[in-house]
Every structure is written in C-alpha cells, then in structure tokens.
Structure 1
Amino acid sequence: MGTVMTIGTLTSVMSFIGVIFCTIHHEWEKTSPVNSATVMRTIYSSQGLWMRCNIPIAGVLNCDSYGTTFFDVQGYLQAIRAFSVISVLLLFCSTVCNTLALDCVMTDASKRRKLWLARIGGTTSVLGGICIITAVSWYAAGVIREFHRHDNRRTDFKFTFGAALYVGWISGALALIGGGLVTCSRCYFTTDDDSTAPYVYRQPKSKASATNYV
C-alpha cells in the first residue's frame, strides 16, 4: 500500500507543476506557418489565458494583456481561466494532503486521520484533473473552430495548438491517475488504533456447584 501511495503522490505533484505551467504559459495557441498567409509565415504570434505575444523582430518578444482590463475579455476565456485556477487550487490541496498522508511523514495525525487525508487528496486530485482537461479541451475546440472557419482565406494568421494545451492534457491525465492510485491504495485500509472497541474483562463462571452450609 505504501508504494502505491507514494507513486500516486508523486504523480499528483507532477500534475500540479504541469498545471501551473499550463495556466501561466502564453502559448495555448500559436500561428501555423504552413497554413497562414505567405507574407505572415515568418511572424510568430501566440495567445494564452492571460496574454498574447508576438515576435516582430528576431529575439524580441512583445506581450500584452489583450489590450483590455482583466475582466473585460470574452466570457468563454474567463470561464477557462476559472477552470484553470480552480484546478491549481485543487491540486495544491491534493499535494498537501497526500504528502501528510504518507506513512514516511512523521506527523501527529493518527492512522484514521491519515486515511481521510489520503481520501481527500485523491478526490481533489481527480477533480483538479477534470477541471484542467475541461479547460484545455474547451480552448482547443475554439482553436479548431476558428481554424476551419478560415479554410478559404489565406490572408491572415491561422492558429494551431500550442505547447500549453499538450501540457494541460498530460497533467490532467496524471492528476486522474495519481488521484486514483492514492484513493485505491486506502480503499481497504483499516485502522486498529481508533476503531477497536475496548476490551471488557468478564470473570469466568465457577464450575463448582454452589454449596449450602447448614
């Protein structure tokens, strides 16, 4: 059980790091040199959840926050941001709970508390994985829709999947796997220190028959 728990915890930690990278990275979509207009194939442009960037000159990266205020972006982008941030928070909670639930970590928590920490950590890891997979899949669907909408137009940029989407999918899968391992490693775990009923001593009955003295 301890080995499965450790592997699940490490997997959840890796997913947590990947989700942070995915959330803050600016390359959720990037220009496709093959499908963009000929005069724009040498220009790099990318968009993320929080900013959009381009390289007009080699070695120079210009980024801006969509040229608007934080809450003035499109509704679907705000929803995707929310899913991503919630995923980060859930996986952070999962990382803390799973670490404290490890048998090798010396804490004052009893076995029963470690059991519940593992269950909470595994559940939050699965929920975090679902949130980030929902976010990147929703964004990817928009990229595909825009790509096909410009099939007959080669006069502007055409975007394709960026690195952050792939990292998000992989991190989400790791979160699901890690959460499942942590939860299943404690499925049949029982505690003896908290749940055992106290032993009550009962004096054995005497085999000798009672004698009445006259």
Structure 2
Amino acid sequence: MSTTRCQVVGFLLSILGLAGCIVATEMDMWSTQDLYDNPVTAVFQYEGLWRSCVQQSSGFTECRPYLTILGLPAMLQAVRALMIVGIVLSVIGLLVAIFALKCIRMGNMDDSAKAKMTLTSGIMFIIAGLCAIAGVSVFANMLVTNFWMSTASMFTSMGGMVQTVQTRYTFGAALFVGWVAGGLTLIGGVLMCIACRGLAPEETNYKAVSYHASGHNVAYRPGGFKASSGFESNTRNKKIYDGGARTEDEGQSPPSKYDYV
C-alpha cells in the first residue's frame, strides 16, 4: 500500500471511529433489562451514561436524566471520563491529520513537517481508540458483575425458589457500537503511524574524508633524478625553509616537480 493511500485510509477510519464514539456516548442503551424469566413484560427499562429510560408496551417512553454527579457510581463516572477524553483526542487528531495529508499542500510545508504531524495525529488516534475500548470494557465488566450478583441473590435457600423482584441488566447496543468505534479509531491511528515512515525524507549518508594540511615548516630538497637510485639530495644546493628564514643563496633556480619530498 502506498503512503498516500495508507494515510487516506487511516484518516477515513479515524473519522468513522470518532463518529461511532460520539454516537455510543449519546446512546441510552448501554444496559438493557434482561427479559429472561421476567414475568413483567409491560415495562422495558434501559440505561445510558446520562439518563435512564422506561418504555411501556403502549410505545410511550419516559427518560429521566441523572440529577446528581457525586451520587453516581465511581465506575460510571470513569466510563464517562474515558469516552470524553477519547472524543476530544480524536477531534484534535483529526484537525492535525487534515493538514498532514499528502494530497493537500499548505504553503511551503515540507514532507518532514507533514511526517511529524501524521505521527502526532496517529498517536492521538491510538490513545483515543484505547480510551474508548477501555471505557466500554469497564462498563461491560460492571454489568457482568452486577448480573451475577443479582442472579445469586434471587435464589433463596427454600427449595431453590426464584424470586423475580430484582431487575437484571445485560449488554446494550451502545457497548457494541463503542467497541467497533474504538477499534476503527485504533486501526486508523496505526495506519497513520505507518504512513509517517513513507513521508519522512530519506537521509543521505556521505563518506567522511579527512584532509591533512601541511605543516608550517616545509623543507625543499632540490637534486638530480636518477633512474637507478631515485631521488638523491644535493647537499650543496640544499634549501631549508624554517619559519620563513632561508640559509641559501637567493640566486638558485626554483625546484622542479621532482624535487619535493
């Protein structure tokens, strides 16, 4: 998959995940009444994060919001916080991802800046997806615990009689929407992080070459060239340059290209 396609797919999945998280948070059917062995079928109850509702057999539905904050269970407040944090991070990541798309040019923005923005939005989407999945899972675990506690309390020690006086709740549609939305957001964030590697410019490595400058004291040794013995110094015409001072006559001929040692 190309970098642009991977980035666009991750962006679209993140949008779907954000929409799903918002819908799941606003839904009232986080927990629905368990109708198994329930003789009362004229009333159907379900609860959400923000209110509880009662639906009658006639079709009339009455919802009542939670009028307290401190009086709510701590787990319910934690689920609220996780879903809100997930939505906020998804919105911020979405705004960053819009400017990070490779198909959109914003002024003189180079690929390295787009790569950093893509990575930032991808991390935000991953955290948002984890928050949504964690919030829904915490609520589901709370439902399972309350369900089995209610079931155990309904059985009496007198002949195993069942008393259907307590209302048991099971999974609602909002839980499945939240799980799917969190998964889509998480996958979208992973794809954005993968696309970041393709947007980052490749670094060019050059082989280092060291240069050694000649010293201040350079000795020139003029002399004749012999094929058998190579270079031989001529002590009579020797020139020595030591710190700019010369000890030989100024009238000597300049050295040839074979005279440097």
TM over 0.5: yes
Q: Deviations over 1:93-124 (max 9, x none)?
A: 12112222111223233322211111111000
After TM superposition, give the deviation of residue 69 of structure 1 in Å. Answer: 2.4
Structure 2: gaps spanning 5 or more residues: 155-163, 205-253, 255-261
Could you tell me how far 1:160 is from its partner in structure 2?
Answer: 0.8
- Quote the residue 1:93 is aligned against: 92
Question: Quick check: 1:33–1:42 contact (8 Å CA) kept in 2?
Answer: no
**Distance in structure 2 (CA, Å) of the matches to 1:70 and 1:57:** 31
Structure 1 residues 41-50 or 77-86, which shifts more? 41-50
Q: Could you tell me which residue of structure 1 aligns to residue 49 of structure 2?
A: 49
TM-score, with normalisation over the residues of structure 1? 0.83
What secondary structure sits across from 1:4 in the alignment? Answer: helix
CA–CA distance in structure 1, aligned partners of residues 59 and 120 of structure 2: 46
Q: What's the TM-score, normalizing by structure 2?
A: 0.69
Task: Give the CA deviation at 1:150.
Answer: 1.8
Give the equivalent residue in structure 2 for 1:207: none
CA distance in structure 2 between the partners assigned to 1:22 and 1:2 by the alignment: 30
Q: How many residues align?
A: 194
Q: 1:106 to 1:188 in 2, by over 3 A?
A: closer
Larger of the two Rg values belongs to structure: 2
* 3-state SS of 2:18 partner: helix
Matched residue, 2:174? 164
**2:76 counterpart of 1:77:** yes
Task: Look up the match of 2:31.
Answer: 29
Q: Distance in 2 between matches of 1:180 and 1:94?
A: 13
Which stretch shifts more, 171-180 or 71-80?
71-80
Alignment check: 8 A CA contact 2:32 2:171 kept: yes
> Relative contact order: is structure 1 or structure 2 higher (C-alpha 8 Å, sep ≥ 6)?
1
Q: Report sequence identity in percent.
A: 27
SS in 2 for 1:150: helix
C-alpha separation between the residues in 2 aligned to 1:72 and 1:104?
50
Q: Which letter does structure 2 place at the counterpart of 1:22?
A: A
Matched-pair contact (CA < 8 Å) for 2:111–2:199: no
- Residue number in structure 2 paired with 1:38: 39
After TM superposition, the structure 1 = structure 2 runs for residues 10-159 of structure 1, keeping only pairs within 5 Å, are 10-35=12-37, 37-39=38-40, 41-66=41-66, 68-108=67-107, 109-152=109-152, 153=154, 154-159=164-169
SS at match of 2:61: strand
Structure 1 pair 157–105 and aligned structure 2 pair: CA distance change class (3 A): same
Q: Distance in 1 between matches of 2:200 and 2:55?
A: 58
Distance 2:110 2:69 in 1: 45
Distance 2:81 2:169 in 1: 23
Q: Deviations over 1:22-62 (max 9, x none)?
A: 11111110112224x212x3321111111111113533221
List gaps (5 residues or longer) in structure 1: 197-211
CA deviations over 1:155-214 (Å, ceiling 9, x no partner): 23211101110011111111111100110111243337xx88xxxxxxxxxxxxxxx6xx
Does 152-161 or 12-21 show the bigger shift?
Answer: 152-161
RMSD (Å) for aligned C-alpha atoms: 2.1
Candidates 173, 178, 191, aligned match of 1:181: 191
Structure 2 SS opposite 1:46: strand
